[in-house]
Every structure is written in C-alpha cells, then in structure tokens.
Amino acid sequence: MLCINYINLKSLGEIMDYSNDTHLKSIGYILWIFGFTGSHRFYYGKPISGTIWFFTLGLLFIGWIIDFFLIPSMDRQADFRYRSGNLNYTVAWILLTFLGLFGIHRFYMGKWLTGIAYLLSGGIFGIGYLYDFWTLNDQVSLINSRP
C-alpha cells in the first residue's frame, strides 16, 4: 500500500516538474522598472492593460507598485497560455523592444517580407511596431505550434 502511494506521488511530481517556461520572471521584473509604460504587461500578454498603463503612467504609479507583487502570477499565466518551441519569447521581445522599428524581430521569426517592409518604413511608420507589441506573444506561439 505504501509503495503504491509513493509511486503515485512520484508520478504526480514528475508531471508537475514539466514546465512550459515561455516567459522569464527576471525579464518581467526588469521591464517592471519601466512598468509605468506598461512594458511588463505587454510582455506577459496583457495588451489592453499595458496600453492603459502606458497612457496613465501605471494608473498613476499605484497599479505599477501593485504589479511588483503580481508578476509571479502573470508569469505563470503566460507560461500556461503560450506554447514553447523553437522561437524564444524573450529573444523576440528584446529584439522588438530595441530594434522593432527596423523589423529585426520579424527576421528572427522568419517573416522576411514584413521584416524588409519594417526596415524600409520604420516599422510601417510605427503602427506596425505598436501592432507587434499587442500581438508578439500570439505570433511566436503560433510559429511554435507548427510541426
């Protein structure tokens, strides 16, 4: 009886050890430093609240302070929601954040035509750059779900 329970608990532990760690808490906290711009919320796939944080300075910094404690749960939600695979979410986000107007993140994702279009037009005049802040997690997840 004891042996059977140990085997069941061991199997349960092995199942729980499997992780789909698509987003990193460390990156979330680094982005939180600039969180009054909503950057950490965009990273964790919350574009509506990210936009609200951007226009209200993190709900007048109050929401920004509260988010310091919410980052672990936002990280878990993103790990459950998005699919890991060949493309790394963190690399895509770093490329988007710092080189997005040049379309480097699109080249990384294998989207060569739109990458060239971003390169020649400054991220399609900034509108495509903003669009990618809203949709990058879904774009990477879709690419990662392909066989």
Cα–Cα distance between 9 and 22 in angstroms, integer?
Answer: 26
Task: Read off the pTM.
Answer: 0.77
Q: Give pLDDT, residue 26.
A: 93
Q: Give pLDDT, residue 14.
A: 41
pLDDT by residue for the chain (147 residues), tens digit each? 444 444 444 443 444 444 688 999 999 999 899 777 788 999 999 999 999 988 898 889 898 899 999 999 999 999 999 989 999 999 999 899 889 999 999 999 999 999 999 999 999 998 998 899 999 999 999 999 988
In 68-99, which positions are buried (b, 16+ CB within 10 angstroms) versus exposed (e)?
Answer: eebbeebbeebbeebbbbebebeebbbbbbeb
Collapsed DSSP state (helix, strand, coil) of residue 60: helix
Q: Give pLDDT, residue 11.
A: 42
Residue 5 token pair: 């329970």
Q: Give pLDDT, residue 19.
A: 61
